[in-house]
C-alpha cells in the first residue's frame, strides 16, 4: 500500500537522512522488529536498552511510511473525548489511556535529551475549540470530565480565545497545559543512529515475506531469500497491518495537510499552542520550528492511494476555507500539500499486544491522531511483555476487545 502522496513536508525538508543496507545474509537475534518508522525506532530503543540483541527491518527506505507524512502533534487528548471513552470502556481504562498519552509526552522529552535530538521537540499547550454552537454543551462536559480526572485544563470563552490567539468565530474551548510537537521523521532517524552505535542492526529495503512460527522462536523469510531467526518478533508495521491481520480492526482514512511558506510573523500568537476544533472531521494546526503554519484535516474514507491523491487540491481549498473563517486576515501562502493514510479504531485506542495467529510475537500499532504518543506507551508495554509481565493497559489495547 502506498501510504502517502509524494511530497510530505518532512521528507523534503530533511532529505535522505541515512540509508541503511539491505539484508544480504542469514541473521539471528533475540528480537526482530518489522517496520522502521517512528514506532519501530522507539521500540528498538527500548529493546536495546533492555539488553536484547535486536534487528530492525523495513521494506522501504527507513521512515518512508506514515512517519514521513505525520504532522507530529503530541497530545494527551485522544480522538475520542474522555467522557465518551468512559462510556465505552469504563472510567479506569479511559483515564489510564489519557494519562498514558500525557506521560508519553514527558517520556519523549526525556528521550530527545538522551539522544541529543535536534528534531525540534517543543512543549506546547493545546486549544480544543467548539466550531459550532451546538458543540458547546458536550465540550463543557468534556472539560469538566478532564478536570475531575486531574488534567490541567481551563475553559476559555470566545472573547478570551479572540484576545489570546486572535481566533475568531469560535464558541469557546478547552485550553490544556500538556502537549508538544516534534519532527517525528527526523527523531526516528536520530533514535536509530543512536542505537546502531549500541548494537542495533538496521536493514532497509528488506521486506518480511513470510514467517514460520516454531516452538520458542520464529523464522522470518525476507524478500532476497535470507532468513532471520528470532526469539520474538515485534510488528511495528503501521497501517499495513491490515494486510497481515484477517479480521477488521481499523478503518483506514485519507488525511491531508498543508504548510505555509516561511514567515516569522505567521500566527505568532499560536507558536506555543496546538489548535484543533470540534468539526467532524476536525482540523488542526500548529507552527513548525522553521516558522511555517501547518494545517491538517479533511479526512475521508480511504479507497485507494490514487483517489486519495486526486483530492489534494480540493482538500487544500477546504482546509484553507476553514482557516479563513477563524482567521480572516491571515495571508496563507501554501508551500507544500500532501496526503497520507491513517487508521481510526472504534474507541480511538491502539492495538498493542499479542495476536493469537502470530506466535512468539507482539504488535505495536499506534492508530489515530495519537499514533505517536501511543507508540511511546508501546515501548513500555513491549518491555513488560518481553519479561512476561502484564501491563495495566493490555486489557484496553488488546486485539478482540
Ligand atoms: C497526515 C498525517 C498526520 C498525522 N498526524 C499525527 C499527529 O499529529 N500526531 C500523532 O501522534 N500521529 C499523527 N499521525 C499518525 C502517525 O503519523 C502514525 O501513527 C505514525 O507515523 C505511525 O508510525 P509507524 O512507525 O507505526 O508506521 P509507519 O511510519 O508507516 O512505519 C511502518 C513501517 O513498516 C514497514 N513495513 C510494513 N510491512 C512490512 C514488511 N512486510 N516488511 C518490512 N517492513 C514493512 C513500512 O515500510 C513502514 O515504513 C498522522 C498521520 C498522517 C498520515
CA of 139 to the centre of ligand 1 (A): 30
End-to-end CA gap in the chain: 26
CA distance 129 to 158: 9
Give the number of the atom of ligand 1 that is nearest the alpha carbon of residue 188.
Answer: 25
pLDDT digits 0-9 by tens, 213-254 = 988 899 999 999 999 999 999 999 999 999 999 999 999 999
pLDDT digits 0-9 by tens, 58-89 = 999 999 999 999 999 999 999 999 999 999 99
pLDDT computed for residue 399 by the predictor = 97
User: Starting at the edge strand that comes first in sequence, how are the strands of the sheet with 180-181 ordered?
Assistant: 73-74, 180-181, 122-123
Q: Is 238's C-beta closer than 6 angstroms to any atom of ligand 1?
A: yes
Q: Is 315's C-beta closer than 6 angstroms to any atom of ligand 1?
A: no
3-state helix, strand, coil in the chain (%, to 5): 35, 25, 35
Task: Report CA-CA distances (Å) from 160 to 31, 128, 279.
Answer: 52, 13, 20
pLDDT digits 0-9 by tens, 273-314 = 999 999 999 999 999 989 999 999 989 998 888 888 888 889
pLDDT grade for 355, boundaries at 50, 70 and 90: very high
Average predicted confidence (pLDDT) for the chain: 95
pLDDT grade for 8, boundaries at 50, 70 and 90: confident
Q: Is 58's C-beta closer than 6 angstroms to any atom of ligand 1?
A: yes
Give the number of the atom of ligand 1 that is nearest the alpha carbon of residue 342.
Answer: 53
CA of 240 to the centre of ligand 1 (A): 9
pLDDT grade for 264, boundaries at 50, 70 and 90: confident
pLDDT grade for 1, boundaries at 50, 70 and 90: low
Is this model's pTM higher than 0.75 or not? Answer: yes
CA of 136 to the centre of ligand 1 (A): 33
Give the number of the atom of ligand 1 that is nearest the alpha carbon of residue 73.
Answer: 8
pLDDT digits 0-9 by tens, 97-129 = 999 999 999 999 999 999 999 999 999 999 999
Give the number of the atom of ligand 1 that is nearest the alpha carbon of residue 222.
Answer: 42
CA of 55 to the centre of ligand 1 (A): 19
Q: Is 257's C-beta closer than 6 angstroms to any atom of ligand 1?
A: yes
Q: Whose CA is nearest to atom 12 of ligand 1?
A: 371
Amino acid at each position: 500500500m502506498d501510504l502517502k502522496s509524494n511530497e510530505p513536508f518532512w521528507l523534503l525538508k530533511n532529505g535522505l537522512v541515512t540509508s541503511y543496507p539491505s539484508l544480504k545474509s542469514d541473521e539471528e537475534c533475540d528480537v526482530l522488529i518489522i517496520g522502521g518508522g517512528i514506532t519501530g525506532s522507539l521500540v528498538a530503543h527500548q529493546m536495546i536498552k533492555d539488553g536484547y540483541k535486536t534487528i530492525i527491518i523495513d521494506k522501504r527506505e527507513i521512515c518512508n511510511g506514515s512517519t514521513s507524512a505525520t504532522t507530529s502533534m503530541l497530545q494527551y487528548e485522544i480522538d475520542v473525548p474522555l467522557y465518551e471513552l468512559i462510556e465505552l470502556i469504563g472510567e479506569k481504562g479511559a483515564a489510564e489511556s489519557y494519562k498514558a498519552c500525557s506521560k508519553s509526552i514527558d517520556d519523549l522529552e526525556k528521550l530527545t535529551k538522551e539522544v541529543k535530538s535536534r528534531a525540534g521537540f517543543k512543549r506546547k499547550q493545546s486549544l480544543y475549540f467548539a466550531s459550532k454552537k451546538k458543540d458547546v454543551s458536550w465540550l463543557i462536559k468534556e472539560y469538566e470530565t478532564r478536570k475531575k480526572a486531574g488534567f490541567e485544563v481551563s475553559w476559555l470563552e470566545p472573547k478570551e480565545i479572540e484576545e489570546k490567539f486572535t481566533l475568531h468565530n469560535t464558541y469557546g474551548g478547552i485550553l490544556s497545559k500538556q502537549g508538544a510537537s516534534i519532527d517525528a521523521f527526523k527523531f526516528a532517524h536520530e533514535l536509530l543512529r543512536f542505537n546502531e552505535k549500541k548494537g542495533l542492526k538496521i536493514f532497509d529495503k528488506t521486506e518480511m515475506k513470510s514467517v514460520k512460527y516454531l516452538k520458542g522462536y520464529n523464522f522470518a523469510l525476507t524478500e532476497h531469500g535470507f532468513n532471520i531467526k528470532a526469539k520474538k518478533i515485534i510488528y511495528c508495521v503501521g497501517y499495513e497491518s491490515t494486510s497481515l491481520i484477517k479480521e477488521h480492526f481499523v478503518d483506514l482514512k485519507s488525511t491531508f495537510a498543508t504548510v505555509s511558506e516561511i514567515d516569522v510573523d505567521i500566527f505568532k500568537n499560536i507558536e506555543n499552542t496546538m489548535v484543533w476544533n470540534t468539526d467532524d472531521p476536525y482540523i488542526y494546526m500548529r507552527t513548525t520550528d522553521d516558522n511555517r503554519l501547518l494545517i491538517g484535516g479533511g479526512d475521508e474514507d480511504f479507497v485507494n492511494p490514487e483517489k486519495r491523491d486526486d483530492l489534494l487540491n480540493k482538500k487544500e481549498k477546504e482546509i484553507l476555507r476553514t482557516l479563513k473563517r477563524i482567521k480572516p486576515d491571515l495571508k496563507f501562502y501554501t508551500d507544500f500539500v500532501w496526503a497520507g493514510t491513517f487508521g481510526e479504531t472504534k474507541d480511538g485506542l491502539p492495538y498493542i499486544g499479542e495476536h493469537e495467529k502470530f506466535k512468539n510475537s507482539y504488535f505495536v500499532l499506534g492508530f489515530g491522531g495519537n499514533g505517536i504518543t501511543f507508540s511511546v506507551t508501546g515501548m513500555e508495554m513491549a518491555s513488560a511483555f518481553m519479561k512476561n509481565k502484564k501491563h495495566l493497559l493490555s486489557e484496553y489495547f488488546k486485539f478482540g476487545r
